[in-house]
Amino acid sequence: MNDTICAISTSLGVGAISIVRVTGEDAIKIVDSIFDSSLVDKKTHTIHYGHIKYNNEIIDEVLIMLMKAPKTYTKEDIVEINCHGGNSTTKKVLEILLLCGCRLAEPGEFTKRAYLNGRINLLEAESVNDLIVAKTDAARMLAINNVDGNLTKRIRSIREKIVKILANIEVNIDYPEYQDEVQVTQQLMNEYLTDINKELKKLVEGAKNGRIIKEGINIAIIGRPNVGKSSILNHLLDEEKAIVTDIPGTTRDIVEGSITLNGIAINFIDTAGIRETSDVVEKIGVDRSKRSAESADIILFVANNNEKLTKEDLELLEKYDSENLIIFVNKCDLERKIEIPGNISREIIWGNTIDINGLDSLKIAIKNKLNLDSIVNKDMSYLSNIRQIDLVNKANSAVENAYNALKNDMPIDMIEIDLKSAWEYLGEIIGDSYQDELVDNIFSNFCLGK
């Protein structure tokens, strides 16, 4: 932690400017030794024009941003060298810094220092990385909200409530002779636990939205051969992605493509038409279709308006019947021959891909099913990675255990144990309690130079 580290913070390649970043105790001294005017006596948060020189050779004409501790990203001295972009100049500057006493930073090490030096918490640090890797607008909005600490505030407030209850319990354990105290405490605890449980449930529910926003949604397009699955995919993507022919069994392998709805990535997976077949290749394709359906968030079942539902159609409809099923009856430009059995209660959208009817209704149905209009908003603050979600689930079960223990008149110290673990799990989310190994692991997934 005490050494001075450096890294190229911009992505490598040809560009106008690249930034090489240095942080640590000797950051200013080291850069000063290769810069043609003195930096040591300069004010913090100033920019300086000059040249990087090494062994009397001018390496580059640069701008230096000088930021002295503690008001910096890492809370240590930081010097950022804005050099000319392109591989050779940037790498040369980095190489010289290494020769002058810097160590090459590990991925995420700047942010790790920001966290270990107490400038941001672990959840905010993870959100910094989410912001960098965000692929959609909604993912970016979520990440920046979490960097700003909205979620941290919610978690801290739940932890404070738990601490209050723990303090109450301590009084009970230390002064058991005060019978009146017990009554008050149990009543209070009931209220507090119900309240905490509600707050945690909101976090758990929100985490589902967080995952949707961050990772997007997979929709498998399933159905018998030749009903128009690939045509629907192509129209949704506005691209000739999958091969379309009138030969049943055209699609053999999975074909995928994404669009965004409300800033969320919606990944459509076109699959091989499902039917009994002796063709070895097609059989593998059909197996893949079934697997895609099983792991998808939504199944889009496609049927042909111009044919009666077959036994295979009905079997598939029964197999995939769930909240997450949307039925699209395609080829509505042709005469209607399909009959929908009365027991099918799922949403049906009618359309065709010839004059492109029904695809807008399909998008609306997807939005409604996922509640996209309400989950994406400017104030959203959801947990979104597996580590955080796992911990909030654990905290929630611990609080539920405490609640059940209270209801069943269990000894008060049993309740205390559950509440303490809930408090610790929540603390782990924001990194108030942490293990070195865990922290190393989290930051190793970051970009170099961040």
Ligand X SMILES: Nc1nc2c(ncn2[C@@H]2O[C@H](COP(=O)(O)OP(=O)(O)OP(=O)(O)O)[C@@H](O)[C@H]2O)c(=O)[nH]1
Footprint of ligand X on this chain (CB under 6 A)? 223, 225-231, 244-246, 248-251, 272-273, 330-331, 333-334, 352-354
Is the bond preceding residue 341 a cis peptide, omega within 30 degrees? no
- 3-class SS at 117? coil
Task: Give me the count of residues in the chain.
Answer: 450
Tell me the one-letter amino acid at 228.
Answer: G
Query: Which residues would be at the binding site for Mg ion (CB under 5 A)?
Result: 229-230, 250-251
Decide: 425 and 392 in contact? Cβ < 8 Å: yes
Beta carbon of residue 265, minimum distance to Mg ion (angstroms, whole number): 22
Our CB check for ligand X shows the closer of 250 and 397 to be 250
Beta carbon of residue 288, minimum distance to Mg ion (angstroms, whole number): 13
Decide: 59 and 35 in contact? Cβ < 8 Å: no
Our CB check for ligand X shows the closer of 79 and 233 to be 233
Our CB check for Mg ion shows the closer of 182 and 354 to be 354
Q: What is the CA angle 228-230-231, rounded to 5?
A: 60
Beta carbon of residue 269, minimum distance to Mg ion (angstroms, whole number): 12
Our CB check for ligand X shows the closer of 1 and 243 to be 243
401 touches, from Mg ion, ligand X, none (C-beta below 5 to 8 Å by class):
none
Our CB check for ligand X shows the closer of 4 and 330 to be 330
352 touches, from ligand X, Mg ion, none (C-beta below 5 to 8 Å by class):
ligand X
Neighbours of 87 (CB within 10 A): 12
| Closest residue to ligand X, based on beta-carbon distance | 273
Beta carbon of residue 93, minimum distance to ligand X (angstroms, whole number): 54
Rounded Cα gap, residues 306 and 335, in angstroms: 6
Half-sphere exposure (Cβ direction) of 102: Cα atoms closer than 13 Å: 28
Rounded Cα gap, residues 16 and 26, in angstroms: 28
Beta carbon of residue 351, minimum distance to ligand X (angstroms, whole number): 7
330 touches, from Mg ion, ligand X, none (C-beta below 5 to 8 Å by class):
ligand X
228 touches, from ligand X, Mg ion, none (C-beta below 5 to 8 Å by class):
ligand X
Our CB check for Mg ion shows the closer of 9 and 330 to be 330
121 touches, from ligand X, Mg ion, none (C-beta below 5 to 8 Å by class):
none
Tell me the one-letter amino acid at 224.
Answer: R
Rounded Cα gap, residues 94 and 100, in angstroms: 10
24 touches, from ligand X, Mg ion, none (C-beta below 5 to 8 Å by class):
none
Alpha-helical regions (H) of 306-385: 311-319, 359-370, 372-375
Rounded Cα gap, residues 427 and 433, in angstroms: 6
Name the DSSP letter for residue 447. P
Our CB check for ligand X shows the closer of 14 and 247 to be 247
249 touches, from ligand X, Mg ion, none (C-beta below 5 to 8 Å by class):
ligand X
Beta carbon of residue 340, minimum distance to ligand X (angstroms, whole number): 17
Beta carbon of residue 429, minimum distance to ligand X (angstroms, whole number): 44
Our CB check for ligand X shows the closer of 211 and 331 to be 331
Farthest-apart Cα atoms in the chain, separation:
87
Task: Judge residue 50's burial from the number of C-beta atoms within 10 Å of its C-beta, 0-12 exposed, 13-18 middle, 19 or more buried.
Answer: middle
Q: What is the CA angle 145-148-151, rounded to 5?
A: 70
Beta carbon of residue 298, minimum distance to ligand X (angstroms, whole number): 18
Our CB check for ligand X shows the closer of 52 and 242 to be 242
Rounded Cα gap, residues 398 and 227, in angstroms: 50
Beta carbon of residue 280, minimum distance to ligand X (angstroms, whole number): 17
Tell me the one-letter amino acid at 238.
Answer: D
354 touches, from ligand X, Mg ion, none (C-beta below 5 to 8 Å by class):
ligand X
259 touches, from Mg ion, ligand X, none (C-beta below 5 to 8 Å by class):
none
